A and B are shown apart, each in its own frame.
Chain A
Amino acid sequence: MPATRISRRRALQGFGGGAAAFGASVLFGACGGGDDDSGSSSEGTPAHADTRATAIPSATAKTGGTLRVALSGDPTGLDPSTSRGGNDHNWLYSIFDNLVNNDPTFQVSKGIAEKWEVVDDLTVTFTVPASGITYHDGTAYSAQDIKATIDRHLDPATKSFAAGSLGSVDKVIVSDSTHVTFKLKTITASLFAILGDRAGMILSPTAVQKLGEDFTNKPVGSGPMKLDNWAVGASQKMSKFAQYRKQGYPYLDGIDVQIVPNSSVQFANLRSGNTDLIQLGQKDVDAAKKDSSVQFVQWPSTGYTQVNLNISQKPLNDIRIRQAMTYALNRQAILDGIYFGVGTLANGPITQALWAYNSNLKPIQEDLKKAKELVTAAGYPNGITFDFLITAGEENTPLSEMLKAQWARVGLNVNIVPVTATQATTDYRDQKYPFFLTGFSGRADPDLTIFDNFHSTGAFNRASFNKSYTKEESQVTLDQKIEKARQVYDQAQRKALYDEIQKQIVENAHGIFFTHQSNLVGLSKRVRNFTNYGDGKLRLHEAWLDG
């Protein structure tokens, strides 16, 4: 049925259509705007409107030079399968080449695959080069490597963190040297977004076999940069891969990443000319805007700040307690006090950066009377005390104190339990605490954010780790809606479904959201053509240095 094929293909390729329009306005329409530190960011102009300045006119790209980047911590690993950190992409996208890419506005774009076709609901075929791609270890690519990469994710022995997002992939067939077909178990509207992320990064099979578990420390892909050295806790040095698939790229000779945990030190290094690129903290936004010696770039993020709830745990298995927690919050105080007014008040888990953002949903207003009534109705007229897991830090510590004070007003008394990030992840997964202060960086497709966090089997839904968990009514209906939304190709239909899903998540407090974040980048004056991708992860093959 050609007609069906075409419409579905268009639908798929047009996932980012709305996003493209929005993104275009983001990239070009709002230049120079965005005085957003007013604190009244919940209304009117989005507080994190893009401020990508055109102060430095584009010029002919120059090649050469080493870009000095300061980031706050090491990657958790550089094997796209086993690494799990949201910041890992800042290295992974330079080292690996994806089957397809998510462009700056989350539209699917070419990667190794030059074309793709949705043959039917459960079949997607990619047209790929037969040869001409080389890995950093000098070995040659073939279409079989795509199948090998996906199969490796799906092999339980790999323990791939991307396996969940590829769960609907039945098998990958290499039809011939230029065609790779994905057979799906169910319609997967987010397939392209998934393949534009970790799951679609193609690995050198020779290196995978040779290095085994050490692949995560010595990754070998076919991306624009190859990793030369990784001094844990100190630096990563990458150099230009001369045989990169895209001719003329990258412009840079190398990228030196320095690990600088303190954001104030990062900013000081940028201002003193010792660093070319940093991810700014909100507290430094004002200073960066005023400093003519640096470039400042701000654009909406898919990320949000929140407390992650385990709704299988007492007392959060009671919807009334969760609702009381959300009604007791003064989100404006959180935005102004902790995030310096940078960002917007969250109305749910999908931000303005994505086409599925529900603009009709308003952030929940503080209502202490209602919150108290809910706590009383839940059977705790004298209040209740429970533990609150956090990883102590520059933002988390004062934020946890503010939350504690806000919840205490309605009888929700929390004991702040600060532990290390690694400990927190383990303890929380092991059902030791009912909730955890941790943000989420968002994903290129709403399904990836919604399913993993709010479906009862989602990879980040800690209730799914609780063997004795019995789903509450709201979770049953939410699961059904989430499953339905991921099986619809038409974006308008998906948007309507996600609008409803977001409303239910917020109203029944499956999550408690504070703010939608902004991506904030500071650049030295010599950096040109920095591209701000919607997911905020660094992709630097297009950047170049002037001087």
Chain B
Amino acid sequence: MAVSPSIQQIPLRPAAPAFPARLRRLARRKPVGAVAFFVIVALALAAIASPVLAPYDPLEPNYSALRQGPTLAHPFGTDQIGRDLLSRIIYGTRISFLVGVVSVGVAVCLGTPIGLVAGYFRGAVDEVLMRVIDGISAFPSLVLALAIVAVLKPSLVNVMVAVGLTSIPIFARLTRSQVLSLRERDFILAATSTGASDLRIMLRHIMPNAMSPLIVQATLGLGIAILAEASLGYLGVGVQPPTPTWGGILNQGAPLIERAPWLSIAPGAAIFTLVLSFNLLGDALRDALDPRQRKG
């Protein structure tokens, strides 16, 4: 069926403003989200530029400055073996981002296809896949991560794997719910009637339309993953010493909270700031990407 050229040329909606302009508009509408975004960018830059920003080697003890409170030389103080806490926090940012990004990446890469396949094919495939997901969800995520790390031995890679695996269900379920709704829409029916393959329909027609909630969830997931890494580190099964991680630093500081409170305050504040920023950014993105909440 030929389509009239005149109809084809009718714009369906006004041309979208340029990307920077959209960002500015978004920042005006969601100032808290914008601040969170800048905090995340600043910390990400700190992670990249750790060797330049950190005033001291994060692993180098200074035996003349053992467990020293905050001073000009050591603004966050020093730990039990005289290492500069500010430098350790700055280097710890690297691990937090790395674990956050990689584990969410693992969860998205595994969870999304599962949800996509389950929701698209439904029936027995859906039943099997979602019961497996239900099985994973049955465990509290931190307990499951602990068990995985205990089996695989604590290391950076294994922590990322553990945190990633425990985050799979949420992405699988979210994708499935999107797919279930999208696959009934007319444009999918149209694609099917043109003889498009299942794979093509899933990847070219369904996934692009299911991305918005996944992006929001991934942002929130980053915060959850960073918190999970810190929790594992705090429990002593995270990335292993002497690698500086926020959870690990908190783990060593917590028993000394009365004697040397700065050892707990600095990593605690760092975890709080980054996780809160990801949550606020996720909230802002959700509002921004939700058509029902768009004005005008």
Q: What CA separation (Å) do A263 and B256 show in the bound complex?
A: 10
Is B67 within 8 A of A337, CB to CB? yes
Contacts of B252 in A (CB 8 A): 394, 397-398
- Work out how many contacts link A and B, with CB atoms closer than 8 A: 70
Is A405 within 8 A of B81, CB to CB? yes
Contacts of B66 in A (CB 8 A): 333, 336-337
Is B255 within 8 A of A337, CB to CB? no
- A262-B255, A392-B236, A401-B242 in contact; A333/B154 too (CB < 8 A)? no
Name the one of B67, B240, B258 contacting A416, with C-beta atoms under 8 angstroms. B240
Is A264 within 8 A of B257, CB to CB? yes
Contacts of A284 in B (CB 8 A): 258-259
Q: What CA separation (Å) do A336 and B59 show in the bound complex?
A: 18
A259 to chain B, nearest CB (A): 17
Within 8 A of B (CB), among A462-502: none
Is A402 within 8 A of B240, CB to CB? no
Name the one of B59, B154, B256 contacting A418, with C-beta atoms under 8 angstroms. B154
Q: What CA separation (Å) do A196 and B139 show in the bound complex?
A: 49
- Write the chain B residue with the least CB distance to A419: B153
Q: Does B19 contact A (CB under 8 A)?
A: no
Contacts of A332 in B (CB 8 A): 63
Q: Does B184 contact A (CB under 8 A)?
A: no
Q: Does B61 contact A (CB under 8 A)?
A: yes
Q: What CA separation (Å) do A333 and B242 show in the bound complex?
A: 17
Contacts of A418 in B (CB 8 A): 154, 236, 240-241
- A337-B82, A418-B241 in contact; A283/B255 too (CB < 8 A)? yes
Interface of A is mostly: helix
Q: Does B79 contact A (CB under 8 A)?
A: yes
Q: What CA separation (Å) do A284 and B154 show in the bound complex?
A: 30
Contacts of B177 in A (CB 8 A): none
Q: Does A211 contact B (CB under 8 A)?
A: no
- Write the chain B residue with the least CB distance to A341: B66
Is A264 within 8 A of B255, CB to CB? yes
Against A, the Cβ 8 Å flags (1 = close, 0 = not) of B182-217 are 000000000000000000000000000000000000
- Write the chain B residue with the least CB distance to A334: B81
Q: What CA separation (Å) do A420 and B241 show in the bound complex?
A: 15
Against A, the Cβ 8 Å flags (1 = close, 0 = not) of B59-96 are 11101001100000000000111100000000000000
Is A333 within 8 A of B81, CB to CB? yes
Contacts of B236 in A (CB 8 A): 392-393, 397, 418
Q: What CA separation (Å) do A12 and B60 show in the bound complex?
A: 52
Contacts of B82 in A (CB 8 A): 333, 337
Q: What CA separation (Å) do A416 and B153 show in the bound complex?
A: 13
Residue of B67, B80, B236 ringed by the most chain A CB atoms within 10 A: B80
Is B255 within 8 A of A263, CB to CB? yes
Within 8 A of A (CB), among B243-296: 251-252, 254-259
Considering only CB atoms and an 8 Å cut-off, how many residues of chain B contact the other chain?
A: 23
Q: What CA separation (Å) do A263 and B258 show in the bound complex?
A: 12
Considering only CB atoms and an 8 Å cut-off, how many residues of chain A contact the other chain?
A: 28
Is B255 within 8 A of A333, CB to CB? no
Contacts of A405 in B (CB 8 A): 59-61, 81, 242
Q: Does A287 contact B (CB under 8 A)?
A: yes
B145 to chain A, nearest CB (A): 17
Q: What CA separation (Å) do A404 and B79 show in the bound complex?
A: 16
Q: What CA separation (Å) do A286 and B241 show in the bound complex?
A: 28
Is B242 within 8 A of A394, CB to CB? no
Q: What CA separation (Å) do A262 and B259 show in the bound complex?
A: 15
Contacts of A397 in B (CB 8 A): 236, 241, 251-252
Q: Does A338 contact B (CB under 8 A)?
A: yes
Contacts of B61 in A (CB 8 A): 333, 337, 402, 405-406
Contacts of B59 in A (CB 8 A): 401, 405
Interface of B is mostly: loop
Q: Does A160 contact B (CB under 8 A)?
A: no
Q: What CA separation (Å) do A393 and B252 show in the bound complex?
A: 9
- Write the chain B residue with the least CB distance to A402: B81
Q: What CA separation (Å) do A416 and B61 show in the bound complex?
A: 16
Q: What CA separation (Å) do A283 and B66 show in the bound complex?
A: 13
Q: Does A216 contact B (CB under 8 A)?
A: no
Against B, the Cβ 8 Å flags (1 = close, 0 = not) of A312-335 are 000000000000000000101100
Q: What CA separation (Å) do A401 and B66 show in the bound complex?
A: 14
Within 8 A of B (CB), among A241-264: 262-264
Q: What CA separation (Å) do A408 and B154 show in the bound complex?
A: 23
Against B, the Cβ 8 Å flags (1 = close, 0 = not) of A69-87 are 0000000000000000000
- A283-B255, A333-B66, A337-B67 in contact; A398/B240 too (CB < 8 A)? no
Q: What CA separation (Å) do A332 and B82 show in the bound complex?
A: 13
- Write the chain B residue with the least CB distance to A415: B240
Contacts of B240 in A (CB 8 A): 416, 418
Q: What CA separation (Å) do A361 and B259 show in the bound complex?
A: 34
A43 to chain B, nearest CB (A): 18
Is B242 within 8 A of A416, CB to CB? yes
Residue of A401, A404, A418 ringed by the most chain B CB atoms within 10 A: A401
Name the one of A283, A337, A398 contacting B63, with C-beta atoms under 8 angstroms. A337
Against B, the Cβ 8 Å flags (1 = close, 0 = not) of A254-277 are 000000001110000000000000
Contacts of B241 in A (CB 8 A): 392, 397-398, 400-401, 416, 418
A279 to chain B, nearest CB (A): 15
Q: What CA separation (Å) do A374 and B236 show in the bound complex?
A: 35
- Write the chain B residue with the least CB distance to A417: B240
- Write the chain A residue with the least CB distance to B242: A401
Q: What CA separation (Å) do A262 and B82 show in the bound complex?
A: 24
Contacts of B256 in A (CB 8 A): 283
- Write the chain B residue with the least CB distance to A282: B259
Q: What CA separation (Å) do A400 and B236 show in the bound complex?
A: 14
Against B, the Cβ 8 Å flags (1 = close, 0 = not) of A380-424 are 000000000000111001101110111000000000101000000
Q: What CA separation (Å) do A405 and B259 show in the bound complex?
A: 24
Residue of A281, A338, A394 ringed by the most chain B CB atoms within 10 A: A394
Q: What CA separation (Å) do A401 and B245 show in the bound complex?
A: 14
Within 8 A of A (CB), among B29-64: 59-61, 63
- Write the chain B residue with the least CB distance to A408: B59
Q: What CA separation (Å) do A392 and B254 show in the bound complex?
A: 14
Is A330 within 8 A of B81, CB to CB? no
Q: What CA separation (Å) do A105 and B292 show in the bound complex?
A: 81
Give 15 pairs: A residue, B residue, CB < 8 Å, sorted on A: A263-B255, A283-B259, A287-B259, A337-B81, A393-B236, A397-B236, A401-B242, A402-B61, A402-B81, A404-B242, A405-B60, A406-B61, A416-B242, A418-B154, A418-B241
Interface residues, chain A, CB within 8 Å of chain B? Answer: 262-264, 281, 283-284, 286-287, 330, 332-333, 336-338, 340, 392-394, 397-398, 400-402, 404-406, 416, 418
Q: Could you list 12 further interchain pairs (A-B, Cβ under 8 angstroms) beyond the known A333-B82, A398-B80?
A: A264-B255, A283-B255, A332-B63, A336-B63, A337-B81, A394-B255, A397-B241, A398-B79, A401-B81, A402-B61, A405-B61, A418-B236
Closest 7 CB pairs of A and B: A333-B63, A402-B81, A401-B242, A337-B66, A398-B80, A392-B236, A394-B255
